[in-house]
Amino acid sequence: MEEPHNQTSAYDYTEPTFFYYDPFYYDVSDHSYPYSIIQDFQTILLIVHCLIFSVALPLICVAFHGLHSVVKTNHVVYVINLFISDLIQVFAKLILSVTRQMHVYEVDLPMMLVYIFGVGLNVCFMVCISAERYTMIAHTVWYRNMLRLRISVFVSVAVWILILISCVILSTISNDNLSIVVLVGMLLPYPLVVSFFVGTWRALSRTSVPHNDQRQIMATLALVLCVYTISFLPHIVIIILSRFPYVYTDPVSQHKWEHSSEILIALNPLFDFLLYVFMRKDAKDIFSALFSCFYKRHEANTVQTYVTEAQV
């Protein structure tokens, strides 16, 4: 890394060679960012990713434990693969944040490809979950008569192979073009998720699925759509806007928005755990127990406050 130039303002500036390899960002090498602000960004991101890792890892382990007991009955193959992709993301992102904070940029390319691999798997299996729920409502007879577990395993293996081949191809593309390819790949599945949600909603009136199952399926599809919209869409929009120079007049402001949207993507494993809770048959009981627990705790604190005030 080159030494910062002499101070010409309130900040020290550095050359573009400082910047790491990251296809999720629009060509940052075209700008000279304040060195101290970049360091602050990296420190904040490291803290955020450490917190996400410490919360997401035990939640994913809990989800795996819960899925292990129902995998043969409920056919939750896509959800298991979704959580495997979450593990890949949280480990890869934590390693990237630590190495960048230590200015060890030699591992950026392989670890970023691993992270892209995890994100790609996550997006694909979210689409698979939406497609499966759509089939349960819109084509109930066909869904019940097919070998769901075998087909789910076959589709999952095909997705892993497809994303792996895609990442190998991406490793040969230049960073400028890679950012465009990655963003297009993240954006293309979004219309599918929307169409599955709308198609399922329209098919509710003519399905023979029990009412409670209908509500659970629609809640799952709505949550998948919300997770996709919150996690990925802001980053896609921000990077697309970055292609227009008149949108961001301040490079530092652009960098802040890009990192903020990156944090939303990093929060995706936590959203996936919420998706797992909604997909459980006892989801209503879980939320009822949580609300009851919070209410009893609040009531106990209120009584304790009254007792303390009376003693005073």
DSSP state letters, 253-272: HHHHHHHHHHHHHHTHHHHH
Q: Say whether both 217 and 306 belong to one domain.
A: no
Question: What digits encode the pLDDT tens for the residues 162-190?
Answer: 999 988 888 887 766 777 787 888 888 99
pLDDT at 295 over 70: no
Looking at the domain assignment, is residue 83 inside a domain? Answer: yes
Enclosing domain of residue 247: 16-281
Q: Say whether both 222 and 294 belong to one domain.
A: no
Please state the rounded mean pLDDT for residues 35-58: 79
Q: Which positions ≥6 away from 82 have C-beta within 8 Å?
A: 121, 122, 125, 126, 129, 272, 275
pLDDT bucket at 242, cuts 50 / 70 / 90: confident
Looking at the domain assignment, is residue 175 inside a domain? Answer: yes
Looking at the domain assignment, is residue 4 inside a domain? Answer: no
Looking at the domain assignment, is residue 127 inside a domain? Answer: yes
pLDDT at 294 over 50: yes
Q: Say whether both 201 and 296 belong to one domain.
A: no
Q: Say whether both 228 and 294 belong to one domain.
A: no
CB 311 within 8 A of CB 260: no
The CATH code of the domain that includes 87 is: 1.20.1070.10
Q: What's the angle, vertex CA 50, arms to CA 46 and CA 51, rounded to 5?
A: 120
CB 19 within 8 A of CB 28: yes
Please state the rounded mean pLDDT for residues 120-138: 90
Looking at the domain assignment, is residue 20 inside a domain? Answer: yes
- Taking the model in full, what pTM does it have? 0.77
Q: What pLDDT sits at residue 127? A: 93
pLDDT, mean over the chain: 76
Q: Say whether both 109 and 51 belong to one domain.
A: yes
pLDDT bucket at 285, cuts 50 / 70 / 90: low
Q: Say whether both 45 and 187 belong to one domain.
A: yes
Q: Say whether both 67 and 162 belong to one domain.
A: yes
Q: What's the angle, vertex CA 209, arms to CA 207 and CA 213, rounded to 5?
A: 130
Looking at the domain assignment, is residue 7 inside a domain? Answer: no
Q: What pLDDT sits at residue 90? A: 92
pLDDT bucket at 159, cuts 50 / 70 / 90: very high
Q: Say whether both 271 and 304 belong to one domain.
A: no
Looking at the domain assignment, is residue 8 inside a domain? Answer: no
Q: Report the domain count for the chain.
A: 2
